Amino acid sequence: MADYREMWKSLGMDLETHDVLCDVLPVAFTDVYLSQENRPENMGYYDFVVSEIHGVRPAELIEAQKNGKKVFGTFCIFVPDEIIFGADAIATGLCGGSQFWVPGGEKVLPTNTCPLIKASVGARLDRTCPFFRIADMYIGETTCDGKKKAWEILGEDVPMHVMDLPQMKRRKDYKAWAEEIMTLKATVEEFTGNKVDSESLKSSIKLINDKRRALARLSEFRKNKNIPISGKDCLLISQIAFYDDPTRFAQMTNALCDELDQRVKDNVSVFPAGTKRILIAGTPLAIPNWKLHNIVETSGGAVVCEEMCTGTRYFENLVDESKETLEEQVDALAERYMGINCACFTPNNARIDDIIRLCKEYDVDGVIDVNLKFCNLYDTEGFIVERALKDAGIPVLGIETDYTDSDVQQLRTRIGAFIEMLGE
């Protein structure tokens, strides 16, 4: 990585502790990613983004701030980036996917909080992630209890706006979410000094839809019998989508898809014939959480789909681009975002339908239902998910894990046995 120490220093980061992270990440990335054979050439872009993860994009964000732009940090796919970009500001995902940040979160949160929340809080309070330092304002949401309380703690350190997400999907809930989007709009307008009007919103809706279209196009390749790209690579691309510049991201992902078009014509597969096709459902896998994909894809499986927020929930369904007035556009945003099937909703039958549908579309041999330790919502919903899959005759393995490596061997044994069983 180029030398960004001066930049990190100016962000008030704890350089000594941050050096430890900078030492371990490239090793993990080389082991998991660069060891793969026959990767598409266009993965070079994403490899570069990761190799400079705390350098290039943070430097771009700081440059944008110098030019008067505000940066908003978000933690959940319910927060509509369209409003932020519509105010000529920048949205960046702030999800923490590393064990490195967890102890920092545990200083202020109960140990039995999910690692995603602990890592996000730790990354801010320990001053070891530039993105968490750069964001001028954080946008939280009331999806789960752990997050709600975490926002109160983070809100003591950084300006925080919290969106109140309804927990049911009745018509009045859609209306309430549209009102929340309007409130976000007012907050963003006041903070940036820029108005969001129907014209700017129209172009930001297209901007974010283009990103979704690129991800959906990429996902289509994974339906092929010959799979031209690994699940690990697709997960990485999904994770980068949360913080990269959306225009560039869509361009680079489409360039990769052009290469994959050729691979399909040439019948190229990155997996041997007969590799078992796995769908992973459940809690999100934030960067750099590659543990599960790595285990599956080094145990005779190929991950062909992620029914998660770092997967289909992020890119499926577009916002209607045909609306002209601001009110209609906000309603269209509410309609699209309320269509996300997160376990924080009750009932959440549409998620079960999604999983069964995706299993068919991606010709899946088996499902791994993953739960991040201490996520009560997805853990509880796991019962319904796994029962529905069994009823549909689709083999399923439920697992719970965290960000540590302490369960890798045990997971390897269980996942290996599950994949082997799929061959019988």
Q: Return residues touching ligand SF4 (CB under 6 A).
A: 76-78, 114, 116-117, 143-144, 146-147, 283-284, 309, 340, 342, 344, 372, 375, 377-378
Q: CB of 335: closest distance to ligand SF4 in angstroms? A: 16
* C-beta closer to ligand SF4: residue 342 or 367: 342
Which stretches does DSSP call E strand in 298-416? 301-307, 366-372, 396-401
Q: CB of 125: closest distance to ligand SF4 in angstroms? A: 17
Provide the sign of the torsion angle of the four alpha carbons 294, 300, 306, 307, taken in this order.
negative
* C-beta closer to ligand SF4: residue 148 or 412: 148
Would you give the end-to-end CA distance of the chain in angstroms? 47
- Distance in angstroms (rounded) separating the CA atoms of residues 399 and 207: 36
Q: CB of 100: closest distance to ligand SF4 in angstroms? A: 17
Q: CB of 359: closest distance to ligand SF4 in angstroms? A: 20
Whole-angstrom CA distances from 98 to 21, 140, 281 are 9, 20, 20
* C-beta closer to ligand SF4: residue 148 or 175: 148
Q: Among 377, 394, 39, which residue's Cα sits nearest to residue 233? A: 39
* C-beta closer to ligand SF4: residue 173 or 259: 173
Which stretches does DSSP call E strand in 190-322? 276-282, 301-307
> Quick one: how far is CA 353 from the chain centroid?
21
Q: CB of 147: closest distance to ligand SF4 in angstroms? A: 5
- Distance in angstroms (rounded) separating the CA atoms of residues 163 and 134: 21
Q: Are strands 160-163 and 137-141 parallel, antiparallel or unpaired?
A: parallel
Q: CB of 29: closest distance to ligand SF4 in angstroms? A: 23
Whole-angstrom CA distances from 38 to 274, 280, 290, 423 are 18, 23, 19, 25
Enter the tokens of residue 328.
Answer: 């209609």
* C-beta closer to ligand SF4: residue 115 or 228: 115
* C-beta closer to ligand SF4: residue 85 or 378: 378
- Distance in angstroms (rounded) separating the CA atoms of residues 123 and 132: 7
- Distance in angstroms (rounded) separating the CA atoms of residues 190 and 83: 13
Q: CB of 354: closest distance to ligand SF4 in angstroms? A: 13
